[in-house]
Chain A
Amino acid sequence: MASETIDIRYVAKLAALALTNDEVETFGRQLNDLLEHVNALSRLDIQSVAATAQVVESRNVMREDTPRPCLDRDRVLAQAPQRQGAFFRVPRIIAE
């Protein structure tokens, strides 16, 4: 099992989280501490064990692809931090 320490700034970037320097230090310490605990799993013999994603019977659920009532657009957009007409408004994504 991996035993290196977490590059917390890299992981924060993947997670889209801006961290303060204090948080980098504190979370870095706490998460490395947690990893030491979870490394106990390396003691288990899992060579021939299948992974479990879902414990109870699961299957694909299909339905007819037909229109049906959904949430009211205006009510949903009313919760948006910023809207423009029928759209969510965000900062520019594509450079000029």
Chain B
Amino acid sequence: MQRAYVEKSAAQIAADVQSGRVSAAEIVEETLAHVDLVEPALGSYLTVLADAARAAAVRVDERVRGGEQLPLAGVPLAVKDNMCLDGTRTTCGSKILEHWIAPYTATAVARMLDAGAIAIGKANCDEFAMGSSCENSALGVTRNPYDTTRVPGGSSGGSAAAVAAYEAAVGLGSDTGGSIREPGAFCNLVAFKPTYGRISRYGLIAFASSLDQIGPLTRTVEDAALAYDAMAGYDPMDATSIDRPVEAAASALRDDLRGLRVGLVREFETKALGPELDRIYRQAYADLERLGAELVEVSLPTAEYGVATYYLIAPAECSSNLARFDGVRYGLRVEGDDVRTMYDKTRAAGFGPEVKRRILIGTYALSSGYYDAYYVRAQKARTLIARDFANAFERCDVIACPAASCPAFEFGAKSDPYSMYLMDYYTIPMSLAGLPALSVPCGWTTPAGGSLPMPIGLQLCTPLFGEPLLLGAAHAYERATNHAAARTPVLDGVHA
């Protein structure tokens, strides 16, 4: 099968559709044929929207012929299955919503479609976005396209695998403590969590409302900027979305880091990650310096408390948000003699173990007698963590650090819940502080016991609303190093 377009970037696809060199209909046909070939091995999608994608392509082609300028014309899109798309099944990877059909479209998704993107499918994820490997999905297994014996990361693992395997050019993910950045790092992608509130959460099924943030997973920084520019901005349907002008990121991409101070975090010493990762990150920091950045040491003394803080705040918010799944208005119902028994049985049957764990810990942390000792204390720790970043950004413009402590691991390797929670050690502090952060590919390593090199991600972070600077810096690094291009995914029998 000729793959003329699926491997191209969103920017290239959109330019060629806009100029009439290729139609959105052709892009969609090629993508659907490719999805058919690779899905049995990967399982990125829970639902493939073949008919709807074909119909949407016809409309995009009409709009282009009508003279509309569409920045994402014909771009194949993977939508994490915790975002509503009108008329399509939206499961959150959970049995409790296995057959639920969304009656409206999330704002972020609607803005992507309005910009010309075409939803190819709904991507697998950890149940209600709770997990770091996609193994907590109740509805399917997703494999890492660079080694199918390994996880794609999570929770946005389906979106990450889809984009890495050319089943979409852009994936939408949601990041609460690292759920975009970690799977992006595991799948050789640019994985971008904007400032909290920059992209509307309307239609994103809530997990932890003070942390949840939608963002793109892409194969290039430019594509991340295009997707961000399409989605960012105030939405009256989300009272926490930020009502201030958005500075376009796609026009702020730069080729060097001259004049920038890049902060290296004293507490995130990479020696602890082993000689291979230590070497990769030291090289990455040296490359930033070579591009003109001045490296400075900064300190985040409270960051080590990030995981503990997060695992009180996020479950507390989760226990409250997931109270709505009670068998009354939507989703699964298990009958009981009285309404109370119906609630208890419905939730017992509908939620998987990780969701139950988090509901329980959150309920405990909010319960009478423990609220101050746990929940309020965590909120105060959150203040200290945000303050650490504010202090660090007095001394630097961008922070650089690891995105994860290891490359993608094998299925079942993190069976102890806390060991899985530690996967977000480097991403949680930024989430607690609401800061924009991304992971960009920075090297390859063959894990112990593995036979294939796996990608490693460099995390960059800026102050609130620093998206143009963040994407600009990532673009300079990507352009100078181009680690993503060093290897291609293992698509057995498909990849020539």
Contact = CB atoms under 8 A, between A and B. Distances in A.
A31 B361 CA distance: 7
Given A31-B357, A79-B101, A91 B342 contact: yes
A31 B328 contact: no
Contacts of A86: none
Contacts of B308: 37-41
A55 B386 contact: yes
B110 to A, nearest CB: 15
Nearest to B385: A52
B21 interface: no
Nearest to A95: B338
Contact of B417 (A34, A57, A91): A34
Find the residue from A38, A44, A61, A79 having the highest chain B CB count within 10 A: A38
A60 B347 CA distance: 33
B384 A46 contact: yes
A54 B195 CA distance: 12
Give the interface size bracket for B toward A.
35 or more
Contacts of B312: 38, 41
| A15, A57, A79, A88, most chain B CB atoms within 10 A | A15
Interface string A23-67: 100010011011101111110101001111111111001010000
Contact of B364 (A11, A23, A75, A88): A11
B59 to A, nearest CB: 22
Interface string B407-423: 00000000001100100
Nearest to B238: A61
Contacts of A15: 319, 347, 359-360, 363
A53 B319 CA distance: 16
A61 B347 CA distance: 33
B414 to A, nearest CB: 13
B348 A19 contact: yes
Main secondary structure of the interface of A (DSSP, over half): loop
A45 to B, nearest CB: 9
Given A88-B328, A93-B339, A49 B360 contact: no
Contacts of A80: 328-330
Interface in B428-445: 432-434
Interface in B305-351: 305, 307-309, 311-312, 319, 323, 326-333, 335-345, 347-348, 351
Nearest to A31: B361
B342 A90 contact: yes
A82 B339 contact: no
B339 A41 contact: no
Nearest to A61: B239
Contact of A90 (B307, B337, B339, B433): B339
Contacts of B432: 55
Contacts of A37: 307-308, 311, 418
Interface stretch (B373-381, B391-399, B474-482): B373-381
A51 B210 contact: no
A51 B363 contact: no
Interface in B98-114: 100-101, 103-104
A53 B434 contact: no
Contacts of A30: 357, 417-418
B382 interface: yes
A17 B351 contact: yes
A9 to B, nearest CB: 11
A48 to B, nearest CB: 10
Contacts of A90: 328, 339, 342
A27 B347 contact: no
Interface in A2-32: 2, 6, 8, 11-12, 14-19, 23, 27, 30-31
Interface of A: 1-2, 6, 8, 11-12, 14-19, 23, 27, 30-31, 33-35, 37-42, 44, 46, 49-58, 61, 63, 71-72, 75-76, 79-82, 88, 90-93
Interface of B: 100-101, 103-104, 195-197, 210, 236, 239-240, 242, 302, 305, 307-309, 311-312, 319, 323, 326-333, 335-345, 347-348, 351, 353, 356-357, 359-361, 363-364, 367, 369-370, 373-374, 376-384, 386, 417-418, 421, 432-434, 464
8 contacts: A1-B377, A17-B356, A30-B418, A46-B384, A71-B103, A81-B331, A88-B328, A93-B339
Given A2-B369, A27-B356, 10 more contacts: A14-B367, A15-B319, A15-B359, A16-B340, A18-B347, A55-B210, A61-B239, A79-B101, A81-B328, A91-B336
